[in-house]
Structure 1
């Protein structure tokens, strides 16, 4: 029985090798981790490509025929259709979606080893697109998902750590410190992909939040009106205080909204908005821990790349070969690394 199981395992490994070896992977677990991470990102980006049709899909008027899966939360486009927030959202979508597709190629070993020039060109392009997309995101963060301070802080931190990791990856590759470049580039995109996990947590967590407590938030009447499709009578039926906004007495009138996933559209959107930052912090924490676990589980690859870095730094005539980049033994109190 055990012999038959081993034979089956050997056959399965042989079949799997025909899949992962042609694209440069030598170990199945590396391929599995790559596939799980990049397939999620690749699928998410593909599902968002229709957003590039900004006025026709992303911020198209909502009707009974509108595909809600291809539309942001009701009320979001109130701000995204005008001024600098429109520019910011357009810039964000037009850059992060191509960057997300291209970065999937960057982690394929075959491309890194055989098509080095392509890897470099795409790498520079991904970094430029990522910086532009984050700048666009910062332009709209004030009004994203209600624009509450906790949401703004989360998005600000996420964008900042993403850019910081990209900058450190760039600095290290310019110093030919390849293993550090790998670590920081992986960290950057693991942080960025937390926005996908955020959505899963939010979908699961919003109903739980509404069942376990009573939560309220303030929303502007202009957003209430937008969510209610400019139906004044319906909006006033739920929020009579918005009368001051409708008659022009107070153009900045706010009302208290109960967050309820099963309530009216305004309440449902408010519940999702209240859950957004909590889900975001949890997702970012999980991704930050996850990438560190992965890096700790791949010390052999780290050491191999450090020896490659040493050889290339020697060839380039750099000082401190093996640690010419931002390494722990150069910046901290780690033992000085020696080539094998």
Structure 2
């Protein structure tokens, strides 16, 4: 438990200290920043552990019960898509849970061996999970070029930060290791903000009903969304006769005159997430630097520790 010499300003602070002092925080604002960033990552990961039951929860046979975005499971039927999404979920979700433990001060200070071993597991899980992303990015969130580049940029930033952090800890530059790991996981958490922005954008545009947004889907993909109901498919898109499953049709994403069915919902979400991804990446790059700017005392403390460790190691 962290010992604080300053008496609490009031009863609220005294009560709060009983919560954050035992897990290693000396200052309340550090705990709040940690809860916002690491807590969100933990909650998001725990909520998605059920997706590891892939065939029953994430992509069941009945697409009306699927938890993936409408139409995404269509691309997880082949070997590459299925392996990619399972590799991603199976690696990155445990990595996120373990990463949460890496940012608990009490663990870092008192259980150093666990922190080191756990760190290697987090790195392995991160790289493995990102390999899965590369396999499915072509069709994730609609698979448009814009979303692919946004995902690629976030992936490069995430893995680059982890590599730099690993190099820093090998050089006993502990404060830099902390900074780059914070950058990695704050940027990696953009996927949470992207969903919030994407879903909000979709709801706003559905309410506004603009006419100019369209997405192209193959007849076979729309048929998959409709659980293979050919009569409904033809009523929505008469050119989807079944003669050419690869025939593509345009789906109006938000118009009140659209199909009003799952294909229109898919189109709206695909467009919204494509824009949301870029905004979320930008927000999280800024948030990482803001976090570091707001915690200079910890950086200064670790800089002193780094200097002492380097002297002891003869560096």
* TM-score normalised over the length of structure 1: 0.86
- Aligned equivalent of 1:255: 249
User: How large is the RMSD of aligned CA atoms in angstroms?
Assistant: 1.7
The alignment partner of 1:217 has SS state of strand
Unaligned runs of 5+ residues in structure 1 are 1-6, 319-340
Give the number of the structure whose alpha-carbon radius of gyration is greater: 1
Residues 158 and 185, structure 2, Cα contact 8 Å, conserved in 1: yes
The answer on 1:307 being equivalent to 2:301 is no
What is the correspondence of 1:185-334 to structure 2 with a 5 Å cutoff? 185-210=181-206, 211=208, 213-214=210-211, 215-243=213-241, 246-248=242-244, 251-260=245-254, 263-318=260-315
Pair 261,100 (structure 1): closer, same or farther in 2 beyond 3 Å: farther
Contact 2:199 2:272 in 1 (8 A): no
Match of 1:323 in 2: none
Deviation, structure 1 residue 316: 1.2
Q: 2:122 aligns with which of 100, 123, 126?
A: 126
1:106-140 Cα deviation digits (max 9, x unpaired): 11110000000000010110011000000101100
Contact residue 16 and residue 28 of structure 1 kept, 8 A:
yes
Runs of 4 or more, structure 1, over 6 Å off, are: none
Q: Quote the offset at 1:9 in angstroms.
A: 4.6
1:287 and 1:45, CA in 2 relative to 1: closer, same or farther beyond 3 A? same
Deviation of residue 82 (structure 1)?
1.6
Corresponding residue SS for 1:73: coil
Q: Which has the higher contact order (CA 8 A, sep 6+)?
A: 2
Aligned residue runs from structure 1 range 166-177, under 5 A: 166-177=162-173
Q: Which residue of 2 aligns with 1:332?
A: none
Give the counterpart of 2:103 among 93, 101, 107.
Answer: 107
Q: Secondary structure at the match of 1:255?
A: strand
Change (3 A) 1:266 1:212: closer
Change (3 A) 1:223 1:42: same
Match of 2:175 in 1: 179
- Equivalent residues, number: 304
Are the aligned partners of 1:261 and 1:269 in contact in 2 as well (CA < 8 Å)? no
Q: 1:312 Cα deviation (Å)? A: 0.8
Q: What is the SS of the residue equivalent to 1:257? A: strand
**Partners of 1:37 and 1:293 in 2: CA distance:** 12
CA distance in 1, matches of 2:39, 2:265: 30
With over 3 angstroms needed to count, the CA separation of the structure-2 counterparts of 1:163 and 1:8, relative to structure 1, is closer
Q: What's the offset of the Cα at 1:238?
A: 1.2
TM-fit CA distance, 1:63? 6.4
Greater Cα shift, 98-107 or 299-308: 299-308
- TM-score, scaled relative to structure 2: 0.92
Partner of 2:51: 51
Inter-partner Cα distance in structure 1 for 2:310 and 2:219: 61
